């Protein structure tokens, strides 16, 4: 497994796009967080450490959705994506607008008013492209917050040796969605300067 990542603070006073990963036995876990509001980098880091502690606990629950449901942040607001990768399968939970792609194919949808409104009249592929320029793109319909008690949906995707997985925050995908889908996107060659924090992770299996 070859992992590369890009992380930039942009023009923000603090970088709230954070990433961590760990391996437990035959599984690798990848967690992205994109903080907003009154969140701090310390608060988000503490929350990600709490998730990691739950994952390595000998009494851990097997479902990612249960881990997230039982681990509510105390002082942070964020979009979050957590993936569990094994030899032939990836399980993924995404809340907010972090995105996941497998082999140039988007496999998550955004929890935003832009996605919600566009999906009423457009197909998935068109929505994924058009939402980048929609005025309601930043208006989230769901995210991980101290008050969140909603159910969490988990997806499963088949994966194989040679596949490429890309995780990214909304500092990346509005600019590079079409490049990712065309196969011309390269994390190691990224040199983007934007107003927003930005984070991209590439995993070659």
Q: What is the pLDDT along the chain (205 residues), one digit of tens a residue?
A: 899 999 999 889 999 999 999 998 899 999 999 999 999 999 999 999 999 999 887 665 568 888 898 899 999 999 999 999 998 999 999 999 999 999 999 999 999 999 999 999 999 999 999 999 999 999 999 999 999 988 898 999 999 999 999 999 999 999 999 999 999 999 988 888 788 999 999 999 9
Q: Report the pLDDT value the prediction gives residue 70, as an integer from 0 to 100.
A: 87
Q: What is the CA radius of gyration of the chain?
A: 16
| pLDDT score of 59 | 60
- Which pLDDT belongs to residue 170? 95
- The residues pairing with 92 across neighbouring beta strands, listed in sequence order, are 83, 155
In angstroms, how far is CA 163 from the centroid of its own chain?
18
Phi then psi dihedrals of residue 63, to 5 deg:
-90, 130
Q: pLDDT at position 195, please? A: 86
Question: What is the structure's pLDDT at 57?
Answer: 79
How high is the pLDDT of residue 96? Answer: 97
At 63 the pLDDT is 82
CA distances from 53 to 18, 50, 143, 174, 178 (A): 17, 5, 21, 32, 36
Apex 110 CA angle, 163 and 39, nearest 5: 105
Helix ranges restricted to H, the chain: 41-56, 64-69, 113-118, 124-130, 173-182
Distance, in Å, from the CA atom of 205 to the CA atom of 203, rounded to the nearest integer, reads 6
């Amino acid at each position: 497994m070859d992992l590369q990542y890009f992380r930039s603070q942009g023009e923000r006073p603090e970088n709230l796009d954070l990433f961590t990963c760990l391996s437990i036995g035959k599984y690798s876990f990848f967690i992205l967080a994109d903080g907003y509001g009154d969140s701090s980098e310390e608060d988000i880091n503490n929350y990600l450490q709490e998730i990691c502690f739950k994952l390595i606990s000998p009494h851990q629950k097997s479902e990612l959705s249960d881990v997230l449901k039982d681990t509510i942040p105390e002082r942070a607001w964020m979009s979050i994506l957590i993936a569990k990768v094994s030899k032939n399968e990836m399980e993924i939970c995404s809340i907010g607008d972090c995105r996941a792609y497998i082999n140039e194919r988007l496999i998550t949808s955004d929890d935003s008013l832009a996605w919600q409104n566009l999906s009423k009249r457009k197909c998935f592929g068109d929505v994924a492209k058009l939402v980048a320029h929609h005025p309601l793109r930043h208006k989230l319909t769901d995210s991980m917050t101290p008050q969140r008690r909603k159910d969490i949906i988990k997806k499963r995707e088949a994966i194989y040796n040679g596949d490429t997985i890309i995780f990214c925050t909304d500092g990346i995908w509005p600019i590079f969605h079409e490049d990712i889908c065309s196969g011309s996107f390269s994390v190691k060659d990224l040199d983007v300067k934007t107003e927003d924090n930005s984070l991209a992770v590439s995993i070659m299996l």
